Structure 1
Amino acid sequence: MNQETIHQRHDTSYRFLLSSKKLFVELLRSFVNQGWVQAVNEEHVQEIPHSFVLQDFKRQEADLVYQVHLNGQDVVFYLLLEMQSSVDFRMPYRLLLYQVEIWRYLLQNEEDALSNRKTFQLPPIIPIVLYNGKKKWTAELQFRKLLANEDLFGPELLNFEYLLIDVARYTEEELLSLSNTIGSVFLLDQTEDRGQLLDRINKLMNTAQQMSEDNLQKIMAWVANILLQKVPRNESNPERFIQNLEMIALFMRLEKILGDIHKGEQQGKEAVAKELIRMGMDSSTIAQATGFSTHTIEEWRKQTY
């Protein structure tokens, strides 16, 4: 899989997740440390079904635009999904272009707003960049920092600052402590190899049990969509590896259902482990997913076959 395909798959996966208003609000509340965040209400969030990515950048990114009624006024949130492996130092300039396009789009049918009236105002736009590259994001956050000799001038220069959400910079502890869907996605997106991926899926079992059925389905779809990227290059049997991970995703659903029935009884988890044995999952993977020892699983396997 080439890099362009990987980036497009990530763009699509994140866009799919964050097209959910609930998960968009969850993203803001989890990773944006601003006082106004708590005032964002899912009921007052409306997606603007239009992409503002310019032709020059079509292969580099995807975007989402939400209009939010916040404290008595409409605010636009522009979320740019930057899934590249390298840092683009032109980011403030690109965001300026996108914001101008958004204002043009919103005002094109607003004849009254375009008239020269004293009350004319533009809706505020909050630009946010979601970046998942391994390299630390080192591009300037303020637009004026791109201007030559900007330190010679004061507020007469154009300026704005965008919010950055850098997926790779959060620790495992921080993401697990969120106990939500977005934190789980970021944690899985950070994984480097098979062992770490399986270990983290296991650590997310409790979080998965607390998710709504809708969110659980979304994270499972996200896992399935980027699964091929997480298969190690030296994996001798990638199809088997993918099948095992798909079974773990199924386990997450089965455990949630049985958890509702058994209220966490050991028999519920044991029943799921035995079902995974019947489905052909290897013992070490089942052990990582359920917490049982490989010896116990092998004993159950003998009883099953």
Structure 2
Amino acid sequence: MASKIHNRHDHSYKLLFSHPEMVRDLLTGFVKEAWVEQLDFSTLEKVSGSYVTEDLRDREDDIIWRVRWGDDWLYVYLLLEFQSSEDKHMAVRIMTYQGLLYQDLIRQETFTPSGKLPPILPIVLYNGEKRWTAAQNVAELVERVPGGLERYRPDMAYLLLDEGAIVNDPAWSDQMRNVAAALFRLEHNRDEQDMLAVLGTLVEWLKAPEQTGLRRAFVVWIRRVLLPSRAPEMELPEFTDLQDLHEVHDMLAERIKKWPEQWEERGRQEGRQEGRREERQEAERRALEEKRATVRHLLAFGVLSDEQIAEATGLSVDEIAKLRIEDKH
């Protein structure tokens, strides 16, 4: 089941980041480096997932885009990492995937005008509850040996985007007009009203006809990931007939109004169940005491054996023997 939920999470995110608006906002909003301003985002192009390299062909949690950077292509390798615990050797994985991608680019003879390999930006997008502490450069994982050998130690970093750390940063701005930021805030919403506010903002931002695909991707993610994770016990609406983001927002607004009533009713039901459970326990306690009193009465006469008393009262022979000892003391 956990694997199934993990895959559903990855696939929903992969659907979202298969839209250029998400990749553009991810780079412009969270890669705080000057070269990003030189990218021509109108050239954003998703690279085919049908790789010659079998090691990459079967990967389902990564997405590769390319974008023009002057006369050259820049490749963005986006690894979606959704797991309860971090991978302390992620830097090695990234180094391996980047090497495989370069091998594939060599096979396709995809070089810069100067004949060199194009640059690759490796990004790890992580949404776990705990903050990421694993090494972000493979060099940190390799023992440093003095005397010259350290020159051969690999040195390759990746860009970590830890959603939880981002939205909890004091510098975080809820006013950022950025669809990737909206996704992070939905994932780590403070409460139901905060979730509704972000959804309302997305409805406003993504109302253009050409954004239909991204709106639908958000609907799929909300239905399959956000709501099951944020309100797993709630009686959630069926979205089979909902095709657009504003419909989801409107229905959720109605449903969320009723959630306090549902919680109150659930509390009453649980209270009644607890009361009935206590009543049963008290009745069982009284019945047991009555049986013990009957046993003591029969033991006082000294006519019946422990086995006969057990058969008459329903208590075990051991319990009757224990009562006999207690009475002697």
TM-score (norm 1): 0.69
1:181 equivalent to 2:179? Answer: yes
Partner of 1:167: 163
Distance in structure 1 (CA, Å) of the matches to 2:201 and 2:92? 42
154, 159, 180: which one aligns with 1:158:
154
Partner of 2:96: 97
Partner of 2:35: 36
1:130: how far off?
0.4
SS at match of 2:42: helix
Distance in structure 2 (CA, Å) of the matches to 1:76 and 1:69? 9
Would the aligned equivalents of 2:144 and 2:150 in 1 still touch at CA under 8 Å? no
Structure 2 vs 1, CA of residues 103 and 247 (structure 1 numbering), >3 Å: closer, same or farther? Answer: same
Q: Deviations over 1:141-162 (max 9, x none)?
A: 1111111126775554321211
Q: Deviations over 1:206-239 (max 9, x none)?
A: 4431333424333223212314532535x2xx4x
Structure 2 vs 1, CA of residues 58 and 150 (structure 1 numbering), >3 Å: closer, same or farther? Answer: farther
SS at match of 1:42: strand
1:131 equivalent to 2:126? Answer: yes
Would the aligned equivalents of 1:39 and 1:70 in 2 still touch at CA under 8 Å? yes
Larger Rg: 2
Structure 2 vs 1, CA of residues 229 and 157 (structure 1 numbering), >3 Å: closer, same or farther? Answer: same
SS at match of 1:222: helix
Q: How large is the RMSD of aligned CA atoms in angstroms? A: 3.7
Distance in structure 2 (CA, Å) of the matches to 1:138 and 1:54? 30
SS at match of 2:68: strand
Distance in structure 1 (CA, Å) of the matches to 2:200 and 2:253? 21
221, 246, 249: which one aligns with 1:252:
246
Q: Which amino acid aligns with 1:252?
A: H
Distance in structure 2 (CA, Å) of the matches to 1:148 and 1:57? 32
TM-score (norm 2): 0.64
1:71: how far off?
2.1
234, 244, 257: which one aligns with 1:284:
257
1:63: how far off?
0.3
Partner of 1:264: none
Unpaired runs of at least 5, structure 2: 261-329
Structure 2 vs 1, CA of residues 246 and 149 (structure 1 numbering), >3 Å: closer, same or farther? Answer: same
1:50: how far off?
1.6
SS at match of 2:135: coil
Q: Which amino acid aligns with 2:46?
A: E
Q: Deviations over 1:89-136 (max 9, x none)?
A: 1111111111111111111143x97xxxxx642222111100111111
Structure 2 vs 1, CA of residues 3 and 198 (structure 1 numbering), >3 Å: closer, same or farther? Answer: farther
SS at match of 1:224: helix
SS at match of 2:174: helix
1:249: how far off?
9.2
1:286: how far off?
9.8
Paired residues, number: 250
Distance in structure 2 (CA, Å) of the matches to 1:4 and 1:282? 29
1:39: how far off?
2.0
- Identity across the alignment (%): 26
Q: Deviations over 1:45-91 (max 9, x none)?
A: 221112679769968x6001112220221221111001111100111
Structure 2 vs 1, CA of residues 3 and 51 (structure 1 numbering), >3 Å: closer, same or farther? Answer: farther
Distance in structure 2 (CA, Å) of the matches to 1:224 and 1:48? 27
1:203: how far off?
4.7
Partner of 1:144: 139
Partner of 2:116: 121
Would the aligned equivalents of 2:218 and 2:245 in 1 still touch at CA under 8 Å? no
SS at match of 1:81: strand
Q: Which amino acid aligns with 1:223?
A: I
